[in-house]
Amino acid sequence: MTDREKILDKLRKLQAHADSAEEIGNEAEAQAFAAKIQELLTAYKISMSEVRVEGVEEEPINKTDVYWGTLGMAKHRKPSAWAEMLARIVAKAYYCDFVAVRAPKGCRGDTGGWIGFFVGTDTDRKITIQMYVILSRFIQSEATKAYNEFWKQLVRQGEPVQLARGFRKGWIEGFLMRLAERFEEEVRPKATVPASNTSAIVLVRRNALARIKEWIDKDKGISNDCRSPQMADGSEYGIEAGRQAADRINLRQKAVEGTRTEARRIR
């Protein structure tokens, strides 16, 4: 049995234990197994679609729409650079793709609060959306808080408050840049991972993304050529503060959609 087969076998056994615990109503034990499964998936860059009982068909690919209401925020009439950039960063980390919504020609940009949609397997999309919701709320809350604190600091020090101009945009830009780096660091196989397993993991990601591309381009005829708009240059103070904030968050916490408490758990 190869190293990769051993990992997959362990993951399947953990999943079986989690399913059994859930069936008998032992939610705490089921969550403990689920947390361990997610830790291994992240460490070895293995998609949950690979962790399946032999003989079962491959998990199908589908899409899930995301709206500003999904994030608990008021809708934007124009495309939001940071929301689309974050969606692409999180989708890449969890074996999904993101397609941004573009208003048709002649429209002023109102798409009914629709940001776009994630494409991937059911399991991967669920994890992706959970992290996207939590991180989106975190960005909106912490960027504003950081801006207010920086403005007050300038006043206390007798510095011109004009220095705060662009701080919030810079904070978000810095946060997203560092977040993308951290996701790569978190999911990249560690030095202890055998070389043979590393090659297999890279193949898993390539195959997963190839299936998604085929679903988008051929099966559904959806164009994914649009790109997120370039973010405006932000304050250098904001960029540095945003990067520091991204360094402090815990990307390994189990994400649970729909509660304000979870947005605090990544701190």
| pLDDT tens string 226-243 | 555 455 555 889 999 999
Does residue 213 share a domain with residue 108? yes
CA distance 167 to 173: 10
Compute CA 256 distance to the chain's CA centroid, rounded to the nearest angstrom: 13
Does residue 58 share a domain with residue 32? no
The tokens describing 105, both together, are 């020609």
Does residue 10 share a domain with residue 99? no
Whole-model pTM? 0.67
Does residue 32 share a domain with residue 49? no
Does residue 52 share a domain with residue 35? no
Does residue 173 share a domain with residue 184? yes
Does residue 38 share a domain with residue 51? no
Does residue 152 share a domain with residue 202? yes
Does residue 167 share a domain with residue 124? yes
Does residue 177 share a domain with residue 50? yes
Query: How confident is the model at residue 46, as a pLDDT?
Result: 72
- Grade residue 263 by pLDDT with cuts at 50, 70 and 90: very low
Domain end, chosen from 10, 28, 44, is at: 44
Query: How confident is the model at residue 258, as a pLDDT?
Result: 39
- Percent of the chain as helix, strand, coil, to the nearest 5: 60, 5, 30
Does residue 93 share a domain with residue 10? no
CA atoms within 13 A on the CB side of 85: 16
- Grade residue 196 by pLDDT with cuts at 50, 70 and 90: very low
Q: Which domain holds residue 22?
A: 1-44
Query: How confident is the model at residue 172, as a pLDDT?
Result: 94
Report the domain count for the chain.
2
Does residue 123 share a domain with residue 205? yes
